[in-house]
Structure 1
Amino acid sequence: MKRNLFITLAGLLASIGLQAQQPLTHTQHGQLRTVVNPAASLMHLGGEVSVIGRRQWVGIEGAPTVFWGSGHLGFGGIRATAGLNIRHESLAVEKLTEASAFFAKSVRISESEYLGLSMNAGFSYLDGRFSQLDPMDPAFREDIRETDALVGFGVMLYRPDRYYVGLSLPRLMLGNLGLTGDSRYQFTNSYHLTAGALFPLGTDFQFRPSLLVTYSESLRPQAEVSAMFFVKEVFGIGVNVRSYGELAGMAQFNFGGFGLGYSYQFNPGNQPLNRRINNTTHEIGLSYRFGRDMGLL
């Protein structure tokens, strides 16, 4: 049963061109940026805690599931932040856990613009229980339990409450995690380009576009664009478009320092896999910002 499940998932990955499965990115990157580029924490010196969950291929057991968590504290006197990023990802009998601590510092380069730099360090742990698939099949008997250190960096140019542009390498692998064995994960360095802005539309409406471009040595570059419209900074609705054809509808509520987001992603070019399995992805995010810095950007 579990062996058939893994073969099914492997076939799905192959059918959409993901022979080497990199950790997934979330569609709500315009709101939760620190997990992609820790330097983005400098835009909220009051501190912030956020968590986001993503579930793909609803209806199939063992489908990709990812949870991100991030939190940081600010030191306004020196315009610096320190925090922690955590991710847990599962795919069939494989599980990946990552944790890294970061420190970021910004310097003023003009009257209203800042340049931020961040460094992070942590570990990745890959656990593949292939022996659970079929104990009598030698091809699936070797389990994988690997731990590797990681370091990363980020840089961001920003103007508070107006715009930001950033480049990050959050995972510079120091070993060969996932490069051998039967693992579907093959980790190589992944680079992220992020950008976003906030435009007021009168006194009650705001428009927030954002961009995320991901490049990896083992995968085709992926680009995605999001556009959100807000009413009185309380309720927002928008769309996300990815270069591989996925579309997502998004909604966000802001209340009392909390931000609650939801997205529903699908690929209109793919047919449902069967009556129980479809190509949709659900994503829920929750964040809380401390202090008085409650802006949309």
Structure 2
Amino acid sequence: MKRNLLITAVAILGVSITASGQHALTHTQHGALRTVMNPASSLMHMDGEVNVVGRRQWLGMEGAPQVFWGSGHLGIQHFGATAGFQVRHESLALERLTEASAFFAKRVRISAIEYVGLSLNAGIGYLDGRFSQLDPMDPAFREDVKETDALIGFGVMLYRPNRYYVGLSLPRLMLGSLGVGSEHRYNFRNQYHLTAGALFALSTDFQFRPSLLVTYADNLRPQVDISALVFIKDVFGIGMNLRSYGDIAAMAQVNFGGVGLGYSYQFNPSDEPLNRRIGNNTHEIGINYRFGGVSDLL
């Protein structure tokens, strides 16, 4: 019975991903938690920062996607640089992918008020695919997959502190995909991120923060996320996120001291038969702490 449930869950998940355009697993709070997408953005907070984001999709379904991101860094003030780490863990049905890397970023002043930041990261990725739990009698699912691959990445960002930023990153380029190292049975998918955001003062007490995330992964269609939040006295923000393929999210963020706490609830209003059978609601929680006791909006 358990085996049949697993097979059914994996089959439905596969159909769902295909039907929805094969979404890349990214988070909606990219306007506040940027370092996990582009380590070069760490240069915007030289005092240091710690970020944690958790996302759980399709609640109530066994094997539904779950993703966790984490990052932290400290500034090297006299050198205009930062050093830190990134972790990511995602699970989908019987697959578990874990990544960990360290990064170094350096900024260069290009005008009196603008900087360009560059980052490099390196680490490892580990896949644990327990496919034999599906049907050990089927040759296609007889063997589990446990593979480790080295990864490298880079990021570049143009920014003006507390005003705007534009960045491009490839945080995960698996060396196995370049033909380096031993042969792999599993194709680790590389992801490319284009990020942008700005902060506008609407009045003395109100500020507007739009942000953009465009993600491209090998063999998948580009995914576009647009978020917009309005903040009151830099403390409380409320807004929404629109994602390609029709997903909508309500978002809220609270800042106190150096702590920022964000939440988003994402859903797809489509009335297609697949969406009626599967609860497509997604919950996401993000927490960040910025050293120095200031929780900047940008």
Same fold (TM over 0.5): yes
Match in the other structure for 1:5 = 9
The one-letter code matched in structure 1 to 2:6 is K
2:195 pairs with 1:191: no
The offset of 1:26, in angstroms, is 0.3
In structure 2, C-alpha distance between the alignment counterparts of 1:294 and 1:8, rounded to whole Å: 41
Match in the other structure for 1:88 = 89
SS class of match (2:222): strand
SS class of match (2:242): strand
- Listed as ranges, the matches of 1:51-62 within 5 Å are 51-62=52-63
Match in the other structure for 2:30 = 29
1:17 pairs, out of 18, 21, 25, with: 21
SS class of match (1:142): coil
SS class of match (2:105): strand
The offset of 1:2, in angstroms, is 1.8
The one-letter code matched in structure 2 to 1:15 is A
Match in the other structure for 2:240 = 239
In structure 2, C-alpha distance between the alignment counterparts of 1:56 and 1:65, rounded to whole Å: 6
The offset of 1:45, in angstroms, is 0.5
In structure 2, C-alpha distance between the alignment counterparts of 1:92 and 1:119, rounded to whole Å: 32
Match in the other structure for 1:212 = 213
TM-score (norm 2): 0.92
Match in the other structure for 1:162 = 163
Contact 1:37-1:154 at 8 Å conserved across structures: yes
In structure 2, C-alpha distance between the alignment counterparts of 1:290 and 1:270, rounded to whole Å: 45
Contact 2:260-2:287 at 8 Å conserved across structures: yes
Match in the other structure for 1:111 = 112
The offset of 1:200, in angstroms, is 1.0
The offset of 1:14, in angstroms, is 2.4
TM-score (norm 1): 0.92
Give structure 2 stretches of 5+ with no counterpart: none
Match in the other structure for 2:288 = 287
Deviation per residue, 1:189-210 (Å, 9 max, x gap)? 3221111000111111110000
2:269 pairs with 1:265: no
SS class of match (2:41): helix
The offset of 1:188, in angstroms, is 3.8
In structure 1, C-alpha distance between the alignment counterparts of 2:87 and 2:184, rounded to whole Å: 24
SS class of match (2:246): coil
The one-letter code matched in structure 1 to 2:8 is N
Contact 2:165-2:196 at 8 Å conserved across structures: yes
| Cα distance change on mapping 1:274 and 1:223 into 2, 3 Å | closer
Contact 1:205-1:229 at 8 Å conserved across structures: yes
SS class of match (1:223): strand
Match in the other structure for 1:227 = 228
Task: Kindly indicate which of the two structures has a greater share of residues assigned to helix.
Answer: 2
In structure 1, C-alpha distance between the alignment counterparts of 2:246 and 2:173, rounded to whole Å: 28
Displacement over 4 Å in runs of 4+:
270-276
In structure 2, C-alpha distance between the alignment counterparts of 1:9 and 1:180, rounded to whole Å: 24
In structure 1, C-alpha distance between the alignment counterparts of 2:148 and 2:245, rounded to whole Å: 31
The offset of 1:136, in angstroms, is 2.5
The offset of 1:223, in angstroms, is 1.3
Match in the other structure for 1:72 = 73
